[in-house]
Amino acid sequence: MPVAGARPGRRTAGVLAAAALTLPLLGAAPPAVPPDAVPSGGTPLQKAFSAAAAAYEVPRSVLLGVSYLQSRWDTHGGAPSVTGGYGPMHLTDARAALAATTHHDEGAEDPRGDDARPALRPKARVPRTGSLPDRLATLPRAAELTGLSAERLRDDPAANVAGGAALLAEAQRELGGTPSEDPADWYGAVARFSGADDTASAAAYADEVYEVLRAGAHRVTDTGEPVALTARPELAPDRSALPGTGPRAASAGPATTPECPATVSCEWIPAPYEEFGDGDYGNHDLSDRPVSQPVRYIVVHDTEGAWEGVLDMVQDPTYVSWHYSLRSTDGHIAQHVRVKDVAWHAGNWYVNAGSVGLEHEGFLAEPDAWYTEAMYRSSARLVRYLAGKYDIPLDRQHILGHDTVPGPTAATVPGMHTDPGPYWDWAHYFELLGSPLKATAGKNGGLVTIRPDYATHGPVFTGCGTAGGPCAAHGSSAVRLYTDHDEKSALIRDVGLGSDPTTGVNDLSSRVSTGQQYAVAGRWGDWTAIWYLGQKAWFRNPKGRPTAVPAAGLVVTPRKGLDSVPVYGRAYPEKAAYPEGVPVQDVSPLPYTLLKGQRYVTGGEVPGEYLYAVTFDRSSHQVVRGEEPYYQIQFGHRVAFVRAADVTVRRV
Q: What is the pLDDT of residue 35?
A: 44
pLDDT higher at 215 or 310: 215
Per-residue pLDDT tens over the stretch 17-44: 333 333 445 444 444 444 444 454 578 9
Q: What is the pLDDT of residue 184?
A: 97
Kindly report which listed range (37-46, 448-457, 605-614) carries the lowest average pLDDT score.
Answer: 37-46
Q: Is 500 exposed, middle or buried (0-12, 13-18, 19+ CB in 10 A)?
A: exposed
| 648 SS3 class | strand
Q: Is residue 85 within 8 Å of residue 372, measured between CB atoms?
A: yes
The amino acid at residue 147 is G
Q: Say how far apart CA 114 and CA 353 lie, in whole Å.
A: 10
Per-residue pLDDT tens over the stretch 283-318: 999 999 999 999 999 999 988 777 877 888 899 998
Q: Say how far apart CA 512 and CA 479 lie, in whole Å.
A: 5
Q: Say how far apart CA 362 and CA 339 lie, in whole Å.
A: 23
Concatenated DSSP letters of 332-364: -EEE-S-TTSEES-SS-HHHHHTEEEEEESB-T
Kindly report which listed range (182-196, 230-244, 448-462, 544-558) carries the lowest average pLDDT score.
Answer: 230-244
Q: Say how far apart CA 137 and CA 116 lie, in whole Å.
A: 47
Q: Say how far apart CA 209 and CA 242 lie, in whole Å.
A: 14
Per-residue pLDDT tens over the stretch 70-95: 999 999 888 888 788 899 999 998 76
Q: What is the pLDDT of residue 26?
A: 46
| 155 SS3 class | helix
Indicate whether 97 pLDDT > 80: no
Nearest to 293 by CA among 336, 339, 324, 357: 339
Q: Say how far apart CA 94 and CA 143 lie, in whole Å.
A: 15
Domains, the chain, ordered by start? 35-95+132-229 (1.10.530.10), 258-436 (3.40.80.10), 448-552 (no CATH), 557-651 (no CATH)
Concatenated DSSP letters of 307-338: HHHHHHHHT-TTS---SEEE-TTT--EEE-S-
List the Cα angle 401/403/404 in 5-degree steps: 70
Predicted confidence band of residue 215 (pLDDT cuts 50, 70, 90): very high
Indicate whether 602 pLDDT > 50: yes
Indicate whether 411 pLDDT > 80: yes
State percent of the chain over pLDDT 90.
72
Backbone angles phi, psi at 462, to 5 degrees: -125, 165
Q: Say how far apart CA 401 and CA 249 lie, in whole Å.
A: 33
Nearest to 376 by CA among 335, 326, 418: 326
Q: What is the pLDDT of residue 510?
A: 98
The pTM (predicted TM-score) of the whole model is 0.90
Distance between first and last Cα of the chain: 59
Work out the average pLDDT over 84-113. Answer: 75
The amino acid at residue 229 is L
Average pLDDT of the chain is: 88
Predicted confidence band of residue 466 (pLDDT cuts 50, 70, 90): confident
Predicted confidence band of residue 279 (pLDDT cuts 50, 70, 90): confident
Q: What is the pLDDT of residue 304?
A: 75
Nearest to 98 by CA among 269, 308, 368, 302: 308
Q: What is the dihedral of CA 414, 417, 422, 427, to 10 degrees?
A: -120
Per-residue pLDDT tens over the stretch 241-261: 776 544 344 344 456 799 999
